[in-house]
Amino acid sequence: MYTGEAYFCSGTQKSPNFSFTVYPTKLYTVLYIKTITQQVRRIKGTGLMSRAVKLAGLGTEDGILGAIVEVHNLGMKYHSLNGEVTALENISLTVEEGEFVSIVGPSGCGKSTLLSLIAGLLHPTEGSVIVGGRQVTGAAHQVGYMLQKDYLFEWRTIFENVILGLEITRTLNNAARDRVLGLLETYGLLEFKDKYPNQLSGGMRQRAALIRTLAVDPQILLLDEAFSALDYQTRLAVAEDIYGIIKRENKTAILVTHDIAESISMADRVVVMTKRPGTIKRFYSISLTCDRKTPINCREAPEFRYYFNKIWRDLDIHV
């Protein structure tokens, strides 16, 4: 038996945060490390676990063991009357439970395709997607999908909109109804529950769309440019708001965005994709020095510009 100590840096401070024991079997070590995940997170925030696991020789660059989403050598070709389009090639990625991952890449590189494959709405031409330990073969109920447009039905009240998923999945009972009312209350929409979508602001509509997604209690949220229809100030506020909700509800999230700053400020890890056929160019583990990790605070972190410049260069955007 070997007892080691892991040291982590945060800004100028360097201190021992926890010690872990490596037992002869890797499995035992994994289980042991899992039990300390929460403690480690409380100490310094996410991202450290990946480093701890790497130190123990158990992780890979793009994720760690015990991932909730696993994408293996994924390839996707679309067939149309005009021929074949290779959208994605050789995509491998894992997402840890509770992690927030952002995906950035040029337009048309296959980001939405990747989310649809994870959600089980499309079938890959190569490779596989595993969610919660099971291979995805159809629409996965643990996955909630939020798009750029809120798709609230204008003829239904906010309450009728947010219970839509529960109605469709035939899981609307008193307990679910109470939970939805609780979410509306917590996130400031209870007094608007009998209003119609056109009586709400853009930010409130987006929040209602998120509550509709959360109502069916998905473990994983896929956000495809979920804030891009909003003006800049509202977008910052809504991103802050929705980030808080995702963290409080303890969800795993994958966000596709064209906004580099948004990707860095919200994520534990940023995935940069190449142009079509989309492949993964680079992973960035984001480690920012800020007192309270919220997207707006994170933008003030001294390391922010470093990540921004790196990702900007990776994307090779020409103006």
Ligand X SMILES: Nc1ncnc2c1ncn2[C@@H]1O[C@H](COP(=O)(O)OP(=O)(O)OP(=O)(O)O)[C@@H](O)[C@H]1O
Q: Which residues bind ligand X (CB under 6 A)?
A: 78, 80, 85, 87, 105, 107-113, 276
Contact footprint for Mg ion (CB under 5 A)? 112
CB of 229 to ligand X, least distance (A): 13
CB of 209 to ligand X, least distance (A): 18
Cβ nearer to Mg ion, comparing 37 with 112: 112
Q: DSSP of 197-211, one letter per residue?
A: GGGS-HHHHHHHHHH
Cβ nearer to ligand X, comparing 4 with 108: 108
Cβ nearer to ligand X, comparing 31 with 317: 317
- Residue among 230, 124, 191 at smallest CA distance from 115: 124
Residue 151 contacts by C-beta under 8 Å, 6 or more apart in sequence? 209
Residue 127 · residue 99 · CB < 8 Å: no
CB of 75 to Mg ion, least distance (A): 18
Structure tokens at 224: 């495809």
Residue 81 contacts by C-beta under 8 Å, 6 or more apart in sequence? none
Residue 87 interacts, among ligand X, Mg ion, none and using kind-specific CB cut-offs from 5 to 8 Å, with: ligand X
Residue 142 interacts, among Mg ion, ligand X, none and using kind-specific CB cut-offs from 5 to 8 Å, with: none
Q: Residue 285 pairs with which residues in a beta bridge?
A: 269
Cβ nearer to ligand X, comparing 80 with 198: 80
* H or E element at residue 308: helix 304-315
Residue 302 interacts, among ligand X, Mg ion, none and using kind-specific CB cut-offs from 5 to 8 Å, with: none
CB of 111 to Mg ion, least distance (A): 5
Residue 174 interacts, among Mg ion, ligand X, none and using kind-specific CB cut-offs from 5 to 8 Å, with: none
Cβ nearer to Mg ion, comparing 50 with 112: 112
Cβ nearer to Mg ion, comparing 112 with 263: 112
Residue 34 contacts by C-beta under 8 Å, 6 or more apart in sequence? 66
Residue 181 interacts, among Mg ion, ligand X, none and using kind-specific CB cut-offs from 5 to 8 Å, with: none
Residue 186 · residue 194 · CB < 8 Å: no
Q: Show the CA angle centred on residue 231, arms to residues 226 and 236, nearest 5°.
A: 65
Grouping H, G, I as helix, E, B as strand and the rest as coil, residue 93 is strand
Residue closest to Mg ion (Cβ)? 112
Residue 37 interacts, among ligand X, Mg ion, none and using kind-specific CB cut-offs from 5 to 8 Å, with: none
CB of 113 to ligand X, least distance (A): 3
Tokens 């103006």 correspond to what residue?
319
Q: d(Cα 272, Cα 264) in Å, to the nearest integer?
A: 11
Residue 116 · residue 283 · CB < 8 Å: no
Sign of CA dihedral 6, 289, 61, 113: positive
Cβ nearer to ligand X, comparing 121 with 190: 121
Q: d(Cα 208, Cα 156) in Å, to the nearest integer?
A: 12
Residue 203 interacts, among ligand X, Mg ion, none and using kind-specific CB cut-offs from 5 to 8 Å, with: none
CB of 144 to Mg ion, least distance (A): 17
Cβ nearer to ligand X, comparing 9 with 139: 139
Q: d(Cα 127, Cα 143) in Å, to the nearest integer?
A: 19
- Residue among 220, 209, 27 at smallest CA distance from 120: 220
CB of 317 to Mg ion, least distance (A): 17
Residue 238 interacts, among ligand X, Mg ion, none and using kind-specific CB cut-offs from 5 to 8 Å, with: none
CB of 71 to ligand X, least distance (A): 14
